[in-house]
Amino acid sequence: MQADTPPGRYTRNRLTSFVNDDLTFDVIDEGPLDGTPIVLLHGFPQTATQWSRLTPFLHESGYRTIAPVQRGYSPGARPRGRFAYRISALVGDTTALITALGDGPVHLVGHDWGSTVAWATAAQRPDLVRTLTSVSVPHPMAFARSLVSSSQAFRTCYMALFQLPWIPEAVISAAFRAAGPAGRPGLRRRAAALSGLDEEQFDRVRRDIVDSGALSYALNWYRAMPIVDRRRAGQKVSAPTTHVSSTRDVFMARRGAELTAEYVTGPFGHEILDATHWIPEERPAELAAIILARTGGAG
């Protein structure tokens, strides 16, 4: 399968960083420089490295992948205070990245919190998004409705705990360090299993989030959740869209995925994989095939 012809002109220079709101964001730009860009937005508690098992499959099909290290995660993009992490600011970052790539819309993929940002970007800036593939987290309004019509509120009760100051940081940091290389191997295995991460992912989170000092800033994404623009929360997406959910996701109830079709006016598909919440790492080949099926239909 060959990548579709870009509808615009994109920079042929590697993009290693971009600037927005006087913040500098790191970027992992890989694959053929003349390929159609696919922008990949990571979630919590991960960075752009979460896509490393997936991107080779996209490169083989001729696509170029652009994975930013998002606000709070990039060392040069860690503003203080939860207001700086409201959805409009996160959409602004994605908009700045796409604009830095050149003249033309991109294929947009997001997982977890990255999916939430991708939904908002596709709704608010349809001119910048050719197709959308959301992974694990459904449309924001579908998620909100699932809170009162399924087990979703129970599955995400930790979000309320994350509103507390400093306590979540202390507990999470202590847990990761106790289960780190200098800790007890048995505890490390149990902690990884409890989170659904494999041991490589667990170590990467400890290194990239806890040890790097990004944790407090990453938690600000949750602390900014009460700052909601209700006029935009229910906006529908016109881009061709695929939502990907999984059978063993302990964080997401099925109901949100079932409701998501109501918030897409363009072509829509829902794919279900046998996986935990961490689909990009656990099922990279299958997820890549789903992304390619969606992007290939947009040319």
Cα distances (Å, whole numbers) of residue 141 to 78, 195, 202, 277 = 28, 26, 31, 20
Q: What are phi and psi of 27, to 5 degrees?
A: -140, 140
The CA dihedral of 78, 84, 86, 88, to the nearest 10 degrees, is -100
Q: What residue ranges in the chain does DSSP mark as E strands?
A: 9-10, 17-20, 23-30, 37-41, 64-68, 102-103, 106-111, 129-135, 241-246, 268-273
Q: Residue 104 has which token pair? A: 């033309």
Catalytic residue numbers read 112, 222, 277
- Strands 17-20, 9-10: pairing is unpaired
Torsion sign across C-alpha atoms 92, 95, 97, 102: negative
Task: Please check whether residue 156 is in contact with residue 132, taking contact to mean a CB–CB distance below 8 angstroms.
Answer: no
Q: CA 194, CA 188: separation in Å to the nearest integer?
A: 10
